[in-house]
Amino acid sequence: VNPNSQPQAKSRSGFTLPTQKSEPIDTIEKAIMLLYGERKIGKTSLASRFTDAFFLMFEPGGSGLSIYQQDIADWNMFCEFVDLLQEQTDFYRTIVIDTIDIAYEKCMEYVCKREGFGHPSDKEVGFGKGWKLVDTEFKKQMTRLLQTGRGTVFVSHAHTKEFQAMSGPK
């Protein structure tokens, strides 16, 4: 095989293999990233430096910044904003979810209410079924958001927990 020659496309059942490489993103604003760290270290401030960023705020934290932001009260509201972002692709270059931890909790509350159970781990739901329903809903909405073609920043807080080993030391 000559490394300088272009591959010839072959078709099967209506599918064709690609003959050209994809173009890499050319700015950081088009990237998908996670900003993770301790509280109050500047994750939201860093995300505010992205051009035309829109913040979906699941927790207060942007009041000291001049940013496009929307407080998100529940998962239904988040889904409505994803709908708007899919329809209006000429607004905003980067979407920031602050914080993704709380977004997941809101998704869990939504699924529990929709399915009529108290918690995904409840025995009457069935082993793992509740968590699978939450996971499916969460991935569905995140995929819809990512398909808008914008850069996406997920903000998450580090959590420090003390662990007690069975042998005694903490």
Q: Mind listing the pLDDT tens digit for each residue in 69-123? A: 999 999 999 999 999 999 998 889 999 999 999 999 999 999 999 999 999 999 8
Does residue 1 surpass a pLDDT of 60?
Answer: no
Residue among 160, 21, 18, 155 at smallest CA distance from 99: 155
Q: Which amino acid is at 42?
A: G
- Those residues whose C-beta lies under 8 Å from the C-beta of residue 148, and which sit 6 or more positions away, are 82, 85, 86, 89, 95
Residue 96, SS3 per DSSP: strand
Rounded average pLDDT over 54-63: 92
Provide the mean pLDDT of the chain.
91
Comparing 124 with 130, the larger pLDDT belongs to 130
Residue 68, classified by CB atoms within 10 Å of its CB into exposed (0-12), middle (13-18) or buried (19+), is middle
Percent pLDDT > 70 in the chain is 95
CB hemisphere CA count around 24 (13 angstroms): 3
Q: Which amino acid is at 74?
A: D
H-helix or E-strand containing 7? Answer: none
pLDDT at 14: 83
Count the Cβ atoms, other than its own, within 10 Å of residue 115: 14
Instruction: With beta carbons less than 8 A apart as the criterion, state whether 46 and 33 touch.
Output: no
Residue whose pair of structure tokens reads 């990512």 in the numeric block: 146
Residue whose pair of structure tokens reads 């505010």 in the numeric block: 48
pLDDT at 113: 97
Instruction: With beta carbons less than 8 A apart as the criterion, state whether 151 and 32 touch.
Output: yes
Q: Which pLDDT band, with edges at 50, 70 and 90, does 45 fall under?
A: very high
Which one-letter DSSP state was computed for residue 125?
G
> Is the pTM for the entire model greater than 0.75?
yes
Strands 11-12 and 15-16, how do they pair?
Answer: antiparallel
Does residue 5 surpass a pLDDT of 80?
Answer: no
